[in-house]
Chains A and B, each alone.
Chain A
Amino acid sequence: MEKYKMHILICGGTGCRASASEAIQNNLQDALKAKGLEEEVQVVMTGCFGFCEKGPIVKILPDNTFYIEVKPEDAEEIIEEHIIKGRKVMRLLYTDPEKKEVVSDSKHMGFYKKQIRIALRNCGFINPENIDEYIATEGYAALGKCLTEMTPQAVIDEIKESGLRGRGGGGFPTGLKWEFASKNEADQKYVVCNADEGDPGAFMDRSILEGDPHSVLEAMAICGYTMGADKGLIYIRAEYPLAIDRLKVAIKQAREYGLLGNDILGSGFNFDVEMRYGAGAFVCGEETALIHSMEGLRGEPTVKPPFPAESGYNGKPTNVNNVETFANIPVIINKGAGWFNKIGTEKSTGTKVFALAGKINNVGLIEVPMGTTLREVIYEIGGGIKDGKKFKAVQTGGPSGGCLTEKHLDTPIDFDNLLAVGSMMGSGGMIVMDEDDCMVSVAKFYLDFTVEESCGKCTPCRVGNKRLYELLDKITEGKGTKEDLDLLRNLSTVIKDTSLCGLGQTSPNPVLSTIENFYDEYIAHVEEHKCPSGQCKALMQYVIDPELCVGCTLCARNCPVDCIAGDRKEAHIIDTAKCIKCGACMEKCKFNAISIQ
């Protein structure tokens, strides 16, 4: 690596690749070659930088220049100006929206300032397809330390002391889980990595696997050492082709280096990893369902106990952890539990990765210490609400979580605080909503998801969620009554109390939290039959204000169903019976003459 004077890092995450980051890489390489610099400057495709809003991202080392929204045709200028002449390409730098100042490196950007990257430490830093780069950043040192200096129990104690809790959503102490699995004697045990990220709007596990696959492999081997397992299985969604490819490369390289396989580092410890593919079922995030799916069955959960630690995959003791949980392990071993447990809050140590999305300026993947407030995340890191609109709610925990409001903004984020206010950590999806979002529709959106994803095994979840959905649908159609709200509440409580697995036990959360926090909005739907944010189609009509309409005919020409009539320079009229309420007319009108009633 020393022979290169400069490095150009390009984000190779799914988002940036969708915006042509591969073409950028090719053009950069061509431009370097044309100048005879290919021996001096290395071009590396890394994992996700996190700042997806402004992708594709290109970063230049050693001066840490952070270019945003780079296009393939910018490659030549970057080489010509920056690499050869040493002048930054100003137009590709980030401008702080508040101070209006150009910020050339990521350390001084609002988006990165408050972040501490532990699980994402190598994402956007190393080439995920090169094991040497991982090793150069202390990679596999933790595994070496465990195998040569620590007993399995000492490793477990270290993890217990770190306070690490499961990052997949449950928040169960990882060290305890490992200890249970280690205490059960069997001829065969398994370590399973849950990479079946199903929460719509969360993509941290994929980013870790795409950006730093070795950290997960290393942690799985460490886990195998503590519990006496020689086999690891990664259960990954088939929808993540890039992550699958990078994992395959990583597994192959680790085997070649003797870091997976027999007699790892001469310690006599054997461990190997195989992949298993999910096929699109949200419930498979639940560990018993996941195990059944790996056995080739329908991914239906079973009652615990027996816990997987006693009887899991093929009836053998199995420990299941999430990707992000595993990614924390090597750092804890290297830096010590005492270092890790000082980050975060007393009961939720360390950091958490969130996928920040929705109506927010800086969409992306962030990692912050536990205890950071929602306000800091949304306004300081997220850069506030898009288009200067008003903040309305933030949804955490995906379909299992709840919608939090203005009054929760100063709540420090940790496992227990989020539960206390009616939401949950979940896997870390964080969707910001503004004044235009109808909370009844949002609840309906989540229930639509749950109804589709319910495995159907237990009645409360299979039937109850369907009934919840129907009630919400009735309300958004303007046919709901106040009694329906009580029914929603009662039914939600029953589903939570009686469902078999975590899916059903949490699926009513979006309903309960929106009724709790946005009661007025529900009342407006059922009593006045109005949708205050103008989202519920059945409750709204597009109308043209004859005073403001100048008769430019733009709306009529853009109407996909030809329901707007009117002569040139005369006020137009919308035929509400034919209108499909697509909103195309309102978008196009230059005179603000069209409004929703």
Chain B
Amino acid sequence: MAKIKLAKSKVDTLVEICKSFDNDGAELINVLHKAQETFGYLPAEVQEIIARELNVSVAHVYGVVTFYSFFSMVPKGEFPISICMGTACYVRGAEKVLEEFKRLLDVPVGETTEDGKFSISCLRCVGACGLAPVVTIGERVYGRVAAGDVADIIKEYQS
């Protein structure tokens, strides 16, 4: 196993999380949810510790992490931007909104800007189809967004 470079306190937190689920391999997904909630993302080292604690292979943990879109191996930006790509938003122009975010922030989907401020991701239907197209930034929901509004939205977070 690779050397663990995480701070000891973080390792301890992870060990605690695993323990709270009885170190049961069948609870892997719940453990990962909790770990991501705590650390914001699931880097390789975190996965290695979880594998060790639950007594399953790292490959198994990695397989599960990469299978589910909710789990991320890269840290999200300070202001995570999610563009709803559900069908309702798509037919009301979500793609153009997404293109505009990508163009203005110069970062592809699933990645974070160099200054760590923004990350862009697509999500499937937040269920606010009456407000389509919908963009969420952190907890805040923006409804009926047009490509022309994107620059102003980004500005709100840049000052």
- A binding-site residues for B, Cβ under 8 Å: 13-15, 18-19, 52-55, 198-203, 206-207, 238-240, 276-282, 293, 295-299, 355, 357-359, 363-364, 395, 398, 429, 431, 433, 437, 442, 445-446, 449, 452, 455, 558, 560, 580, 582-584, 587-588
| CB–CB B130/A558 < 8 A | no
| CB–CB B91/A433 < 8 A | yes
| CB–CB B91/A355 < 8 A | no
Option from B28, B69, B129 in Cβ contact (under 8 Å) with A201: B129
Option from A55, A280, A296, A442 in Cβ contact (under 8 Å) with B25: A296
| CB–CB B88/A281 < 8 A | no
| CB–CB A437/B130 < 8 A | no
| CB–CB A363/B129 < 8 A | yes
- B binding-site residues for A, Cβ under 8 Å: 25-30, 32-33, 63-64, 67-71, 85-88, 90-92, 96, 99-100, 103-104, 123-132, 134, 141, 143, 146-148, 151
| CB–CB A357/B87 < 8 A | yes
| CB–CB A277/B96 < 8 A | no
Instruction: Show 21 residue pairs from A and B whose CB-CB distance is below 8 angstroms, ordered by the A residue.
Output: A14-B128, A55-B130, A199-B125, A201-B86, A201-B88, A203-B125, A239-B126, A240-B127, A278-B68, A280-B69, A296-B26, A296-B28, A299-B67, A357-B88, A357-B129, A358-B132, A359-B91, A431-B91, A455-B67, A560-B100, A582-B100
Q: Which residues of B contact A429 (CB under 8 A)?
A: 87
| CB–CB A582/B67 < 8 A | no
| CB–CB A15/B148 < 8 A | no
Q: A18-B141, A582-B147, A583-B147 are in contact. Are A281 and B69 (CB under 8 A)?
A: yes
Q: Give CA–CA (A158, B39) in the complex, Å.
A: 50
Q: Which residues of A contact B124 (CB under 8 A)?
A: 198, 200, 280, 282, 449
* Chain A residue with the shortest CB-CB distance to B69: A280
Q: Give CA–CA (A19, B103) in the complex, Å.
A: 28
Q: Give CA–CA (A355, B85) in the complex, Å.
A: 16
Q: A206-B127, A431-B91 are in contact. Are A298 and B63 (CB under 8 A)?
A: yes
Q: Give CA–CA (A280, B33) in the complex, Å.
A: 11
Q: Give CA–CA (A317, B147) in the complex, Å.
A: 51
* Chain A residue with the shortest CB-CB distance to B63: A298
Q: Give CA–CA (A199, B123) in the complex, Å.
A: 12
* Nearest Cβ on chain B to A363's Cβ, whole angstroms: 4
* Nearest Cβ on chain B to A580's Cβ, whole angstroms: 7
Option from B86, B91, B100, B128 in Cβ contact (under 8 Å) with A18: B128
| CB–CB A52/B128 < 8 A | yes
Q: Give CA–CA (A429, B86) in the complex, Å.
A: 11
| CB–CB A279/B29 < 8 A | yes
| Interface-centre pick from A15, A19, A54 (highest chain B CB count, 10 A) | A15
* Nearest Cβ on chain A to B146's Cβ, whole angstroms: 7
* Nearest Cβ on chain B to A367's Cβ, whole angstroms: 16
Q: Give CA–CA (A358, B125) in the complex, Å.
A: 12
* Nearest Cβ on chain B to A357's Cβ, whole angstroms: 3
Q: Give CA–CA (A266, B132) in the complex, Å.
A: 49
Which 5 A-B pairs give the minimum distances between C-beta atoms?
A52-B130, A203-B127, A357-B88, A279-B68, A200-B86
Q: Which residues of A contact B147 (CB under 8 A)?
A: 582-584
Option from A278, A357, A455, A587 in Cβ contact (under 8 Å) with B132: A357
Q: Give CA–CA (A429, B27) in the complex, Å.
A: 32
* Chain A residue with the shortest CB-CB distance to B90: A445
Q: Which residues of A contact B131 (CB under 8 A)?
A: 15, 18-19, 52, 55
Given A13-B127, A280-B70; 11 other pairs, CB 8 A cutoff? A55-B130, A277-B33, A279-B33, A280-B69, A281-B68, A296-B29, A299-B68, A395-B87, A446-B87, A558-B148, A560-B151
Q: Which residues of B contact A446 (CB under 8 A)?
A: 87
Option from A54, A298, A449 in Cβ contact (under 8 Å) with B67: A298
Option from B25, B70, B99, B128 in Cβ contact (under 8 Å) with A279: B70
Q: Give CA–CA (A560, B153) in the complex, Å.
A: 15
* Nearest Cβ on chain A to B155's Cβ, whole angstroms: 14
Q: Which residues of B contact A277 (CB under 8 A)?
A: 29-30, 33
| CB–CB B125/A201 < 8 A | yes
Q: Give CA–CA (A368, B143) in the complex, Å.
A: 27
* Nearest Cβ on chain A to B29's Cβ, whole angstroms: 5
Q: Give CA–CA (A588, B146) in the complex, Å.
A: 12
Q: Which residues of B contact A582 (CB under 8 A)?
A: 96, 99-100, 147
Option from B63, B85, B130, B148 in Cβ contact (under 8 Å) with A363: B130
Q: Which residues of A contact B100 (CB under 8 A)?
A: 560, 582
* Nearest Cβ on chain A to B110's Cβ, whole angstroms: 11
Q: A281-B69, A297-B64 are in contact. Are A358 and B88 (CB under 8 A)?
A: yes
Q: Which residues of B contact A357 (CB under 8 A)?
A: 87-88, 129-130, 132
Q: Which residues of A contact B67 (CB under 8 A)?
A: 281, 298-299, 455
| CB–CB B143/A18 < 8 A | yes
* Nearest Cβ on chain B to A578's Cβ, whole angstroms: 13
Q: Which residues of A contact B63 (CB under 8 A)?
A: 298
Q: Which residues of A contact B29 (CB under 8 A)?
A: 276-277, 279, 293, 296
Q: A15-B130, A200-B85, A357-B132 are in contact. Are A295 and B26 (CB under 8 A)?
A: yes
Q: A358-B92, A582-B99, A584-B147 are in contact. Are A298 and B64 (CB under 8 A)?
A: yes
Q: Give CA–CA (A359, B89) in the complex, Å.
A: 10
* Nearest Cβ on chain B to A301's Cβ, whole angstroms: 13
Option from B25, B70, B87, B96 in Cβ contact (under 8 Å) with A200: B87
Q: Give CA–CA (A269, B68) in the complex, Å.
A: 37
* Nearest Cβ on chain A to B82's Cβ, whole angstroms: 10
Q: Which residues of B contact A452 (CB under 8 A)?
A: 69
* Chain A residue with the shortest CB-CB distance to B147: A582
Q: Which residues of A contact B130 (CB under 8 A)?
A: 15, 52-55, 357, 363-364
* Chain A residue with the shortest CB-CB distance to B30: A277
Q: Give CA–CA (A166, B30) in the complex, Å.
A: 28
Q: Give CA–CA (A298, B54) in the complex, Å.
A: 16
* Chain A residue with the shortest CB-CB distance to B95: A445
